[in-house]
Each structure stands twice: as C-alpha cells, then as structure tokens.
Structure 1
C-alpha cells in the first residue's frame, strides 16, 4: 500500500512525530516502559484545555475517574480512552475530553479502567460498567457512550450490556473501534502494515487481553460476538480508511442496521489510527473531530441528523 500517495503532508508529519515519541520497538519493552513512553507521546501532542473547563478526580469504588464540567450540564458523556487495553489513562486523553466538554456543554466522565496484562478481561469492562451505573444513578441524567480504539470496544460493550439494565443511554459514538472482527477481513489485509497500527499489533493486543483462551460469544469482550444487536441505542461510527480496524466498524454497522438500529458510519479517507491526536495539526483530522463532537451533541439531544 502506497501511504505516500494515500496520506497528505499533514498526516505524514503526524505519523513521523508519533514515531519519534513512540517508536516501533516500544512493543518489545516492559509494560511499565510502554506506558511511560506512551504517556510521553501523548504529552507531546497535548493541547491546553479550553477556558472555562473545571475538572475533578474522584474514585468510584476504586475506579479512578476525571469529571469535566462547563456550566450546568444536562447530559453526561462517558469517554473511554484507547491504548490497546495496555496503555493510556486519565492524562492521555485529557485535552480531548476537555474539548468535548467545552464544545458540547455536557459533563464528560473519563474512566481510568484497569489495564492488561496485569488485569485481563473482564476487568476493564467491569470498571467501565461500574462507572456507567454510577453516572446514571448519581447524576440521574441521560448519557452518551464514547471512546476511541480499545475505548470504542468498551463503550460498545457497555451499551450492549446496558440493555434492560440502564434506561439512560441515548447513544454511542465509536471512534476507529476494535470490535473483534475477523483479522482476515479486507482492511486487515490491505492495511496489515499501516502506519500507527498494523495487523500484528492488533493480534498482539488481542492475545494479552485474556489468560490464553479467547472468550467466545462474549460481547463484553468483543461486541461483534453478540448474537443480538436489537435494542441498541443510535450509533455513530468513525473509521480511518488507512487502518486495519476499518472493517470492524463496517461489520458492526451492518449488524446494527440489520437489527433495525439507527446507525451511521463515517469512513475518513486519508486518515490513520489514532488521528484524534492530529486534530490540531491536520485539517482532515480537525474536520473529523468536529463531526465527532457534533455526533455526541446530537445524540445527547435525542437528534438524528443522518437521514
């Protein structure tokens, strides 16, 4: 695949800067070192918070969360960070959460779920579900699930599990999510060696999520393993075209559509996995982030602007 032709100068510069701070050999390091390097890379891209954003760090029965507010919100967004279930935390996506809060006016709750391999599945899901129950009970207002990459997986897993248990979930916005699709799908083959994330990386992160036996028929592990996609909230999916995970989003869209769920997929040409960090350096990424925020805001208001 000719990524020099597929990617514009801004995205190529983003990929190069990422490589400086998070080199390919980082996956061979200890998990402690991987996290240190990843946090450093996120810090290199971090933007100042918008004015007027206040935040508070709390513990929800042992699960660290960071709550962002701007004024008097009437909706909550639970944002679940990416990082292959191995890296990331409250600081890695701090500016993203702050900007979502500022642009929507909604409360944003970021979750510092437990990471693999020290805490294999279902630890991360259990933490996210526990926080979703707490948000629904404590604030008593509708909520939107959102997340990128591994966080997109967890956001969808919570939405699936919430059916019949929580009445407050208005929608989900999934950003280049890994949903457990087959790794012989077209995007995994076409973009096996894509910048930022390759097929071997996806398989590596999948292997360390469990104790040696991959769960089957478990939508809290991989939402695409569910056998019932009915009753899910309206869903907007954003995929990067130059990403092996692209077809996970397409397959998930098809499953929801077949089940009669409102769903809209935006596949972003010329973008790569992790492009949220490029939103201040790339016009394509900036526009996509604007669309992501619009989707979160619309779902929070019960609107569906995609017909």
Structure 2
C-alpha cells in the first residue's frame, strides 16, 4: 500500500511522534510493559481539559467511572476507551472525554472496564452494561453511547444486548471500531501492515481476550456476527481509511440500513487507527473529531442529519 501517497505530512509527524513513545513491536512486550509505554504515550499527547469542564471519579455499582460536566447537562454520553481490551483507562482518554463534554454540552461518563488478560470476555461488556444502567438510573437523561476501537466494539455489543428493552439510548457513535476481525474483509488485506495498527496486532489483542477458543457467531464480542440488525439505535461509524478495521464500520452500517435502521458510515481519508490523539496537531484529525462531536450532539437531540 502506497502510504506515502495516502498519508499527509501532518499525519506522518503524528505517527513518528507516537513511535517515540510506543514502538511498533509493542505487542511483543509483556502486558505490564505494554501498559507502561501506552500510558506514557497517552500522557505525552494529553491536551488538558477545556476551561469550565469539571470531572470527578465515581463508583457505578462497582465499576469505576469518571464523570464530566459543564453547566446543567440534559443528555449523557457513556464512553468506552480503546486499547485492544488490554490497555487504557480513565486517564488515557481523559482529554477526549472532556472535549466531548465541552463541545456537546452533554455529561460524559467514561467507563473504566476491567482489562484482559486478567479478566476475559465478557467481563468488559458486563462492566459497560453496568455503567450504562447506572447512568440511566443516576441521571434519567437520554443516552448516547460512544467509544473508540475496542470501546466501539463494547458499545456496539451493549446496543445489541439491550435491544428491545425500554431504554433511553438514542444513538451510538463508534470510532474506528473493531466489530468482527474478519481476515477476509478487503481492508484487512489492503492494510495488513498499516501504520499504528496491523492485522497481526489485531490478532494479538483477540488472542488474549478469551479464556479458550474464539467463540463463533457471538455478537457479544463481534457485533457484525449477529443475524439480526433490526431495532438498533441510530448509528454513526467513523473509520480511518488506512486501517485494517475500516470495513467493519462500513459493513456494520450497511447491515443496519438493510434491516431498516438509520446508519451512517464516515470514512476519513488519509487517517490511521488511533488518530483521536492527533486532533490537536493534524488538520484531518481535527476535522474528523468535529464530525464526531457533531454526531454525538445530533443523536442526543434526536436529529438525523445524514439523509
């Protein structure tokens, strides 16, 4: 793949800066070492919280969460962080969640779900379900689910699990989500050696997720394997074009639309997996983050600006 042509200079600078903190062969390190370098990278990119945003750590029925607010919000975003189900936590995406709060005016609940391999699937999904239930009871507001990468996977799985129940989930915004890990999908072949995330990386993170064989046809870990996509909330999937996971978002939105639901796929040309950290230094990433926050805001108002 001709990445020198597809990726612009700003994004290459972001990739090089990431590599300074997080080496390309990081999956060969121990889990503890992976977390150490990932956390250091996230601290290096942390942009701080916007003025006026307040934050406090809370307990959501046994699941640690961080609550962000500014003013008197009437909508709640429940956010699950990325990191391959192995990395990350409340600090890794602290500035992202604070900026979503500032941009939308909504309350944000960031979920500190338990990580693999100490805790195997479905513990991460269970923690997210608990946090969503807590937010519903605590605030009583319409909810928008959001997450990036592994977090996008978890929030999509939440919507499938809660489908048909009387819930105030008004939409989901999934950012470069892992929804299937299908090696036969074109993007998994085209971008097998993409900067920031390779198909080998995806395979590693999947290998430590389960206590035993990977379960087939199970939408609790691979929402795209579901046989029914009806009754899901309005969905926006935002993908990076130079990412093996690109086609997951495309195919997930197509499946929802084919079942009569509302779904919009936004594919960001020239961007790579993990570009949320580039939103303050890369024009394309900043523009995409604006589209992401506008999608969250629109879904929280019951609007659908994608027809």
Indicate whether the TM-score tops 0.5.
yes
SS of the counterpart of 1:43?
A: helix
Match status 1:267 vs 2:267 = yes
Q: Does the 8 A contact of 2:181 with 2:202 survive in 1?
A: no
Deviation, 1:103, is 0.7
Q: In the TM superposition, what are the counterparts of 1:90-109 in structure 2 within 5 Å?
A: 90-109=90-109
Residue 170 of structure 1 is matched in structure 2 by 170
Q: Matches of 1:61 and 1:305 in 2, distance apart?
A: 35
Task: Show CA shifts across 1:114-139 (max 9, x none).
Answer: 10011010000000001111111111
**Contact 1:38/1:87 (CA < 8 Å) preserved in 2?**
yes
- The answer on whether the counterparts of 1:229 and 1:256 sit within 8 Å (CA) in structure 2 is yes
Q: In 1, Cα distance between the equivalents of 2:116 and 2:166?
A: 27
Question: Does structure 1 residue 88 correspond to structure 2 residue 91?
Answer: no
CA drift at 1:216: 2.2
Segment of structure 1 superposing worse, 181-190 or 67-76 = 181-190
Matches of 2:264 and 2:183, distance apart in 1:
23
State whether residues 238 and 267 of structure 1, in contact with CA within 8 Å, keep that contact through their aligned partners in structure 2: yes
C-alpha distance after superposition, 1:203-234 (max 9, x if no partner): 11111110121122321111112111100000
After superposition, give the CA deviation of every residue in 1:125-164 in whole Å (9 maximum; x if it has no partner).
Answer: 0000011111111111110000000000001011111112
Q: Which deviations, in whole Å up to 9, do the C-alpha atoms of 1:164-217 show, x marking residues without a partner?
A: 234210000000000014112110111000000001111111111101211223
* 2:125–2:220 Cα contact (<8 Å) kept: yes
- CA distance in structure 1 between the aligned counterparts of 2:166 and 2:270, rounded to whole angstroms: 38
Question: Gaps (5+ residues) in structure 2?
Answer: none
1:210 maps to 2:210: yes
2:200 paired residue number: 200
Tell me the equivalent position of 2:237.
237
TM-score (structure 2 length as normaliser): 0.98
SS of the residue 1:170 aligns to = strand
Moved over 6 A (4+): none
Question: Would the aligned equivalents of 1:275 and 1:285 in 2 still touch at CA under 8 Å?
Answer: yes
- Within-5 A mapping of 1:179-198: 179-198=179-198
What pairs up with 1:42-81 in 2 under 5 angstroms?
A: 42-81=42-81
Q: Secondary structure at the match of 2:25?
A: helix
CA contact (8 A) 1:121 1:209 kept: yes
Contact 1:133/1:166 (8 A) holds in 2: no
Contact 2:188 2:245 in 1 (8 A): yes
**Count of residues paired in the alignment:** 307
Q: Secondary structure at the match of 1:56?
A: strand
Residues 76 and 144 in structure 1, CA contact (< 8 A), matched pair in contact too: yes
What value does the CA root-mean-square deviation take over the aligned residues?
0.8
Judging changes above 3 Å, is the alpha-carbon distance between structure 1 residues 165 and 211 closer, same or farther for their aligned structure 2 residues? same
Aligned to 2:228: 228
Residue 61 of structure 1, CA deviation: 2.6
Shift of 1:89: 0.2
In 1: Cα distance, 2:162 partner to 2:227 partner: 15
When the two structures are superposed, what TM-score results if normalisation uses the length of structure 1?
0.98
Shift of 1:25: 2.7
SS of alignment partner, residue 206 of structure 2: helix
What is the rounded CA distance, in whole Å, between the counterparts of 1:9 and 1:233 in structure 2?
37
Conservation of the 8 A alpha-carbon contact between 1:268 and 1:288:
yes
Whole-Å separation in 2 of the counterparts to 1:217 and 1:139: 35
